[in-house]
């Protein structure tokens, strides 16, 4: 039903990341519209024209962003004029809006600014509350084409305040509902095999998507139709049947990051946590403090990268480092207990590993990470993980895995 076209050479060469289409897709989906295709094209006239012609044949709604600035490479308006067989005309209201927006920003309005007040005669102008480029709405047979600025803040206000409400009035979309189940410690292929019978029995109006990330998978169940209650009931029943199959490998049932799930969990426990980080180098602390309100339960992190700091700050026995190495069960457990003692927290997480790309051995290859979790009564448990050879990926997996595993151990009563 909907196609999105984003325009600009900067998108194709990687100079700017296209966040517009991701945001638009999410908001349109929430409003009940099905986005079928997203296309990024250069500033060349023929590329814009080809994308527009193709999209208009397939979709009821074509939404375009970019190519509306005052410079020569912004040629979207001229392309739209050719497509709709119309001409550019001067729009007094747009010019007044430009003057008002630029007041205090520039001394004089120049010809390029006046050029922005020229709009295709057949369009309906939607005023831009955040910039100088007008938003242009075209009715095309039973379809709609909308051209918006590429500046995200301008596009978002136009979409939320004007375009989506107008589209809903015109097309009366159905309902779309999603529910996400967060799973960890099961490879995608194994999970798919586990769920094959369950998936075969899903109602036809419910679709399943596997969305893998390092160390975890988001299972997204989606339903669409005219009866929202029927959709929600069907998805809830499917999730009820899913829980016994996956068990404790489910760590959340909302579309949240590991940090967000952890924050919600710890706020409800009323307990505190501290960290002793080696290979993660403060990344766990970053994950926790990236969520507002973390000061209520997070005491702090001791980043003990060297063996000396492990001994001085956490009380790790030098003879254990000498015998077992820093990346070992005895050392990481002492780190976790040391963090408890140093901070007085209720729980602690410790990490020690070989993030890479160098430093691995045959016994402890790159990607080997020991983690320990300590809790009340000085209980401590630990586990070794074998990740991969990519340093950044190993650090990310260490951080998210450590948080998820602590939640699981508390839920299971191990800590």
Q: Report which of residues 130 and 383 the model is more confident about.
A: 383
d(CA 116, CA 101): 13
pLDDT of 219 reads: 98
d(CA 23, CA 192): 29
Q: How crowded is the C-beta side of 87, counted as CA atoms within 13 Å?
A: 2
User: 313, 322 in Cβ contact below 8 A?
Assistant: no
pLDDT of 309 higher than 90: yes
User: 230, 250 in Cβ contact below 8 A?
Assistant: no
User: 57, 95 in Cβ contact below 8 A?
Assistant: no
Is the backbone peptide bond immediately before 95 cis, with ω within 30 degrees of 0? Answer: no
pLDDT cut 70: percent of the chain above it = 99
* Average confidence (pLDDT) over 243-254: 95
pLDDT of 69 reads: 74
Mean residue pLDDT of the chain comes to 94
pLDDT of 109 reads: 80
- Strand 298-303 relative to strand 273-277, pairing: parallel
d(CA 164, CA 170): 10
The pLDDT-based confidence of 100 (bands split at 50, 70, 90) is: confident
Which residues have C-beta within 8 Å of that of residue 340, sequence separation ≥ 6?
274, 347, 348, 374, 378
Q: Is 337 left (phi over 0), alpha (psi -120 to 50) or beta?
A: alpha
- What does the CA dihedral 41, 43, 46, 52 come to, rounded to 10 degrees? 50
pLDDT of 112 reads: 80
The pLDDT-based confidence of 107 (bands split at 50, 70, 90) is: confident
Q: Report which of residues 281 and 214 the model is more confident about.
A: 281
pLDDT of 72 reads: 64
pLDDT of 188 higher than 90: yes
Give the three-state DSSP class for 360: coil
Least confident of 108-112, 121-125, 291-295: 108-112
Nearest to 232 by CA among 176, 309, 286, 166: 176
219-241 pLDDT per residue, tens: 999 999 889 999 999 999 999 99
Which residues have C-beta within 8 Å of that of residue 171, sequence separation ≥ 6?
1, 33, 60, 61
Which residues have C-beta within 8 Å of that of residue 356, sequence separation ≥ 6?
366, 367, 389, 390, 391, 394
**Residue 374: what are its φ and ψ, rounded to 5°?**
-115, 150
The pLDDT-based confidence of 295 (bands split at 50, 70, 90) is: very high
pLDDT of 74 higher than 70: no
pLDDT of 66 reads: 93
pLDDT of 326 higher than 90: yes
pLDDT of 68 reads: 85
Nearest to 33 by CA among 61, 12, 53: 61
pLDDT of 113 reads: 80
Angle formed by the axes of helices 307-314 and 329-343, nearest 10°? 40
Nearest to 339 by CA among 296, 306, 310: 310
Sign of CA dihedral 267, 399, 220, 200: negative
18-72 pLDDT per residue, tens: 999 999 999 999 999 999 999 999 999 999 999 999 999 999 999 999 988 776 6
From the centroid of its chain, how far is CA 260? 12
pLDDT of 130 reads: 87
123-182 pLDDT per residue, tens: 999 999 888 889 999 998 889 999 999 999 999 999 999 999 999 999 988 899 999 999
* Average confidence (pLDDT) over 189-212: 95
Task: Find the angle CA(386)-CA(392)-CA(393) to the nearest 5 degrees.
Answer: 45
pLDDT of 73 higher than 70: no
262-294 pLDDT per residue, tens: 999 999 899 999 999 999 999 999 999 999 999
The pLDDT-based confidence of 110 (bands split at 50, 70, 90) is: confident
Domains observed in the chain: 2-171 (3.40.980.10), 175-252 (3.30.70.2860), 258-412 (3.90.950.20)
Strand order in the sheet with 273-277: 298-303, 273-277, 347-353, 368-375, 379-386
d(CA 67, CA 150): 7
* Average confidence (pLDDT) over 193-205: 95
Nearest to 175 by CA among 216, 212, 230, 128: 230
């Amino acid at each position: 039903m909907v196609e999105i076209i984003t325009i600009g050479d900067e998108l194709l060469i990687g100079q700017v990341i296209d966040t517009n289409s991701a945001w638009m897709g999410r908001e349109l989906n929430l409003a009940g519209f099905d986005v079928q295709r997203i296309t990024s094209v250069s500033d060349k006239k023929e590329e814009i024209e080809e994308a527009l012609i193709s999209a208009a044949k397939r979709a009821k709604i074509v939404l375009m962003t970019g190519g509306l600035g005052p410079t020569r490479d912004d040629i979207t308006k001229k392309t739209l004029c050719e497509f709709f067989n119309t001409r550019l005309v001067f729009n007094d209201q747009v010019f007044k809006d430009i003057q008002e927006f630029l007041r205090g920003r520039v001394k004089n309005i120049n010809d390029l600014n006046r050029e922005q007040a020229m709009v295709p005669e057949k369009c309906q102008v939607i005023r831009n509350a955040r910039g100088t480029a007008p938003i242009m709405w075209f009715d095309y047979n039973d379809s709609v084409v909308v051209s918006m600025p590429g500046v995200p803040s301008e596009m978002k206000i136009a979409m939320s305040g004007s375009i989506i409400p107008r589209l809903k009035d015109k097309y009366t979309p159905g309902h779309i509902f999603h529910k996400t189940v967060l799973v960890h410690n099961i490879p995608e292929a194994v999970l798919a095999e586990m769920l094959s019978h369950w998936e075969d029995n899903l109602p036809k109006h419910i679709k399943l998507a596997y969305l893998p990330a390092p160390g975890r998978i988001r299972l997204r169940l989606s339903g669409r139709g005219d009866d929202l209650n029927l959709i929600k009931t069907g998805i809830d029943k499917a999730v009820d049947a899913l829980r016994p199959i996956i068990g404790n490998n489910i760590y959340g049932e909302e579309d949240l990051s590991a940090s967000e799930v952890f924050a919600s969990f710890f706020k409800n426990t009323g307990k505190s946590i501290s960290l002793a980080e080696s290979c993660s180098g403060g990344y766990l602390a970053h994950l926790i403090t990236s969520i507002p309100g973390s000061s209520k339960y997070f005491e702090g992190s001791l980043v003990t990268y060297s063996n000396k700091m492990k001994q001085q700050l956490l009380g790790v026995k030098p003879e254990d480092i000498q015998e077992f190495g820093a990346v070992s069960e005895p050392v990481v457990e002492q780190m976790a207990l040391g963090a408890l003692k140093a901070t007085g927290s209720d729980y602690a997480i410790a990490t020690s590993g070989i993030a890479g790309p160098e430093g691995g051995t045959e016994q402890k290859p790159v990607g080997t990470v020991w983690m320990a979790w300590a809790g009340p009564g000085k209980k401590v448990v630990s586990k070794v993980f074998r990740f991969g050879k990519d340093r950044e990926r190993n650090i990310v997996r260490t951080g998210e895995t450590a948080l998820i595993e602590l939640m699981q151990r508390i839920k299971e009563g191990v800590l």
